[in-house]
């Protein structure tokens, strides 16, 4: 029996594998990667590697075994049919008869286009007949704190979220929830709504940046159309820019406020405060 993590060298997958290594022997962890070289450090620590690609169904043949616990981390290639990609993994897991299939989804409250692939994938997961867990992850602090260069350059946080608030948390927080599910008991056929303990707005975010940098950072709200144009001007593909602008519209409507405390309960600790994430990003 192995705990199998797809997308294991991605931003979230790395955190999951690192935290699994603190709880289970390395040889019980299988990291599914597209590039073996990027996972050489994990292999050196005893983690088993499997090379597979969501776009190549044959690479998942025989990858899973009965009794495995699998974390399917959602793909980020919005232009390549994510539901079909996810179905490749789900079907391979079904054929193997894995013990548990966990999927990183999106909050049920989210109506933006970003959620469409997640809802469709959830249907496939449930339809597989496998014991499942839906990890409905909210937004990541890092979606903002890893993009500080233009904010600091222009002294402005530009978003299309109005006065909306968001319950974000760190990737490490969401990884801790996934690890709790993969290593614990009693999670079968459940859906967890995951988000940070404290919701915040972008005016507060700008104020926190000002406090920590000693510079004046303002929040400049714009329309979703203007924000999509801003993103495409920064080099993002049009379809992705539209998806992200749609998320901001959802934030304005309160769709990314999560009040369940499922995340801190699964992680066994409070979620990472935004101020701490900002401090870490500035130090980096």
Domain range list for the chain:
3-198+255-283
First CA to last CA distance, the chain: 38
Query: Residue 239 has what pLDDT?
Result: 86
Q: How far apart are CA 102 and CA 181, in angstroms?
A: 8
Q: How many CB atoms lie within 10 A of CB 53?
A: 15
In sequence order, the β-bridge partners of residue 48 are 30
Q: What is the mean pLDDT of the chain?
A: 96
Query: Residue 80 has what pLDDT?
Result: 66
Q: How far apart are CA 166 and CA 121, in angstroms?
A: 24
| Helix spans in the chain (H) | 11-21, 40-44, 82-96, 114-127, 142-145, 148-154, 171-183, 202-213, 224-233, 238-252, 262-267, 274-283
In which region does residue 255 sit, left (phi positive, over 0), alpha (psi from -120 to 50) or beta (all else)?
Answer: alpha
138 in helix, strand or coil?
coil
Using CB atoms within 10 A of its CB, is residue 6 exposed (0-12), middle (13-18) or buried (19+)? buried
Query: Residue 284 has what pLDDT?
Result: 87
In sequence order, the β-bridge partners of residue 71 are 5, 102
Question: Per residue in 190-200, is it b (16+ CB within 10 Å) or e — as a string?
Answer: ebbbbbbbebb
Query: Residue 81 has what pLDDT?
Result: 87
The model carries a pTM of 0.96
In sequence order, the β-bridge partners of residue 200 are 166
The residue ranges of the chain whose pLDDT is under 70 are 78-80
> Which CATH number is 3-198+255-283 given?
3.40.50.720
In sequence order, the β-bridge partners of residue 169 are 140
Q: How far apart are CA 248 and CA 253, in angstroms?
A: 9
What Cα–Cα distance (Å) separates residue 79 from each residue in 75, 116, 240? 10, 13, 9
Q: How far apart are CA 233 and CA 41, in angstroms?
A: 37
Query: Residue 76 has what pLDDT?
Result: 80
């Amino acid at each position: 029996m192995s705990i199998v993590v797809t997308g294991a060298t991605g931003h979230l997958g790395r955190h999951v594998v690192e935290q699994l290594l603190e709880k289970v022997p390395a040889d019980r962890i299988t990291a599914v990667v597209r590039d073996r070289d990027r996972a050489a450090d994990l292999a050196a620590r005893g983690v088993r590697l499997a090379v597979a690609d969501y776009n190549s169904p044959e690479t998942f043949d025989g990858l899973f075994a009965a009794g495995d616990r699998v974390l399917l981390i959602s793909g980020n290639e919005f232009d390549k049919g994510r539901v079909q990609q996810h179905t490749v993994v789900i079907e391979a897991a079904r054929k193997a008869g894995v013990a548990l299939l966990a999927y990183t989804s999106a909050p049920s409250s989210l109506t933006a286009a970003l959620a469409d692939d997640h809802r469709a994938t959830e249907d496939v997961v449930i339809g597989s007949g496998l014991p499942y867990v839906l990890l409905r992850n909210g937004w990541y602090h890092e979606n903002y704190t890893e993009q500080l260069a233009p904010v600091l350059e222009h002294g402005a946080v530009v978003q299309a979220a109005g006065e909306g608030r968001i319950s974000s948390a760190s990737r490490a927080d969401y990884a801790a929830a996934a690890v709790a599910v993969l290593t614990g008991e009693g999670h079968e056929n459940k859906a967890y709504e995951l988000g940070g303990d404290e919701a915040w707005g972008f005016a507060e975010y700008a104020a926190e940046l000002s406090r920590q940098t000693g510079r004046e950072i303002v929040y400049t709200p714009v329309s979703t159309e203007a924000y999509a144009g801003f993103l495409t001007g920064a080099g993002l593909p049009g379809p992705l820019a539209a998806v992200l602008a749609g998320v901001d519209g959802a934030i304005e409507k309160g769709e990314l406020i999560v009040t369940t405390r499922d995340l801190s309960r699964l992680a066994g600790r409070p979620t990472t405060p935004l101020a701490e994430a900002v401090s870490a990003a500035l130090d980096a």
